Structure 1
Amino acid sequence: MNTVKNDPRPPPVGGVLWSMAGDIRMLLTLPAALTMQVAHPAVGAGVDDHSVFRTDPWGRGERSLTSLQLWVYGGKDAAEEGRRLRQLHKSISGTDAHGRRYHALTPEYYAWVHATGYPVFRYAQHYLGRPFTEAQERQLYAEWLQVGRVLGIHDRDMPQTVEEFWPYYQKVLDNDLEATLVVRELVATNPALPAPDRGLRWLRLLLRLSWPWLCPRFARIRRFLTIGLMPPDARQAIGLEWTDAQERRLRRFGRVVRAVVPVLPERLRFMPIARRARRAARA
């Protein structure tokens, strides 16, 4: 671990992100945030050209989730993970679908990838938990800015208040987002998605055998949650349809999630890195 004296610290123990980032409900929100990210042509092109999301989607998802957990629960390792990510993105460049050059660390693009988390977490909370109070929303945004510093995002490249965030957000929706190739793949109901290759050997074998039946059903659920937990203004900007019937189904699903998840034991409710950090904080 290569620590630096003035490394930015992760969000505080006991804060809004501390409570939600390791909760299993977070898993349901990530596809919406990812889809908003790749709806930006530069980000979508970077993922299309350089990511292994087609050939190793489960491994990529596991690595991304581990990284996210370290931003919040990693302590001194958080800043090192931020440096690792910036180093990883240094070589990601190319040309987007409109013939424009991009680089992954261009502040405008790098900041947008991070910024999507705030509106998605805020919106999904209406379905999956208790809606945030105004004070909690402000705290969540302040903590998300702190995560941005861990990732190497300069304050000058992100709106510094909630009031400044929404005009910035609306400008990106109005001027940049579109249904990129990667967006269309992420919401497809017939994806060329390989069977999961993680877990116990017998489970991998079972999934491989049943994958032709499971895959289209998984894809429909993924599409439903991706579009449903995406803020409506982003959904509209990208051109993703959402019906009243789907909204009613999502509300019913949310009621079940809100009833079940909070009563689960900690070992089932929180992901491993979060569980270890929470135990260490109590000790």
Structure 2
Amino acid sequence: MTASVAPQSTGARTLAPRRPIAPDTRMWDETGLITFSLTAGSAFLLQTMEPTISAVVDRHSTFRTDPMGRAVRSLASVMMWIYGGDDALAEADRLRHLHASLNTTDADGVRHTALSSGPWAWVLHTGTFAFTGSAEYFSRRPLTAAEKEAYFQETLQLMRNFSVPAKEIPASYAEFQTFFADTVANHLVATDTARDYLRVIRSVAPPKQLPRALRPAWKWAVTPIGRLQYFVTVGTTPEVARQKLGLTWTSSDERKLRALGWLIARTVPLLPERLRYFPIAYEARRLERDRQRLRKMIDMRPL
């Protein structure tokens, strides 16, 4: 195992108090979109290439035996991080408590601890990469440097909520880019966990409770979705990581991904909000509008 790579500079920063993600943020507007599971695939892949995360996932995760259940639970948890209000902090605490005992020793005798600060932070750093990177394909226009910096500043609150130490947090988006590229090049490795993750998303096994008679129909329905998820995941993963995993990506593939992104960027915004967002995100956004309307009526009341 290579040594953990830490950001070169964290600046003289006092971390903000833990608090829920605010409704007036880009994170609030975009994390809950139904395209999340598609565009976040590269984040999960990069996590499984981190040696400690890979070892812990290999030992404890059910992603191979219950991929649908694992995916649904993970998605619901991420939605709670952003839209759960005060329960978002409870969810972060629940995850830290859950991971406190998820430790293992690999075949080389190296002990891996799930809550080691570098790997714990890497989970959230891959989310920052996935969001800014996928915007290059799935937004109507690429993010500007200022927008990327603004989004990065929003992620600081999420990292604070998950008790990520300041030493693991770059001071700016520019520093994050340098740190991220260095980590991908010099710390991530091709793991069996990463290869298995790619295999699983390409051909998702049916839920355990699905009757055997319905499994052919499941395969027929899910196979195109799995191929799409695999294609987008590989395409939005950094080239250095692709090379480590022996994945090929051609100029033709790149053109297809950009065409797909162009279509999605112009189709999804046309959907009704109830269909555009996952249920937790939709209900949180609806509740926030109701709160704002109530606040407005209270402010306008006769005195």
The TM-score normalised by the length of structure 1 is: 0.88
Q: Contact 2:18 / 2:161 at 8 angstroms: preserved in 1? A: yes
Structure 2 counterparts to residues 23-172 of structure 1, below 5 A: 23-129=33-139, 130-172=141-183
Alpha-carbon shift at residue 257 of structure 1 (Å): 0.6
Secondary structure of the equivalent of 1:44? helix
Percent identity, please: 39
Identify unmatched segments of 5+ residues in structure 1: 1-5
Once residues 182 and 164 of structure 2 are traced to their aligned partners in structure 1, the CA distance between those partners, rounded to angstroms, is 19
* Cross-structure match for 1:3: none
Structure 2 counterparts to residues 137-216 of structure 1, below 5 A: 137-188=148-199, 193-196=204-207, 208-214=215-221, 216=223
- Select 2:255's aligned residue among 248, 256, 271: 248
Once residues 126 and 165 of structure 1 are traced to their aligned partners in structure 2, the CA distance between those partners, rounded to angstroms, is 17
* Cross-structure match for 2:13: none
User: What is the identity, as a one-letter code, of the residue corresponding to 2:53?
Assistant: V
Q: Contact 2:68 / 2:204 at 8 angstroms: preserved in 1? A: no
Once residues 286 and 206 of structure 2 are traced to their aligned partners in structure 1, the CA distance between those partners, rounded to angstroms, is 34
Once residues 190 and 136 of structure 1 are traced to their aligned partners in structure 2, the CA distance between those partners, rounded to angstroms, is 31
> How many residue pairs are counted as aligned between the two chains?
274
Once residues 165 and 193 of structure 1 are traced to their aligned partners in structure 2, the CA distance between those partners, rounded to angstroms, is 33
Q: Contact 2:203 / 2:227 at 8 angstroms: preserved in 1? A: no
Secondary structure of the equivalent of 2:95? helix
Q: Does 1:282 align with 2:289?
A: yes
Q: Contact 1:41 / 1:97 at 8 angstroms: preserved in 2? A: no
Q: Contact 2:203 / 2:223 at 8 angstroms: preserved in 1? A: no
Once residues 162 and 200 of structure 2 are traced to their aligned partners in structure 1, the CA distance between those partners, rounded to angstroms, is 33
Once residues 280 and 122 of structure 1 are traced to their aligned partners in structure 2, the CA distance between those partners, rounded to angstroms, is 28
Once residues 214 and 266 of structure 2 are traced to their aligned partners in structure 1, the CA distance between those partners, rounded to angstroms, is 29
The TM-score normalised by the length of structure 2 is: 0.83
CA distance change for structure 1 residues 97 and 254 in 2, over 3 Å: closer, same or farther?
farther
User: What is the identity, as a one-letter code, of the residue corresponding to 1:245?
Assistant: S
CA distance change for structure 1 residues 212 and 186 in 2, over 3 Å: closer, same or farther?
same
CA distance change for structure 1 residues 238 and 209 in 2, over 3 Å: closer, same or farther?
closer
Larger Rg: 2
Once residues 202 and 265 of structure 2 are traced to their aligned partners in structure 1, the CA distance between those partners, rounded to angstroms, is 30
Of 273-282 and 163-172, the range deviating more from structure 2: 163-172
Once residues 38 and 180 of structure 2 are traced to their aligned partners in structure 1, the CA distance between those partners, rounded to angstroms, is 22
Secondary structure of the equivalent of 2:254? helix
CA RMSD of aligned residues (A): 2.4
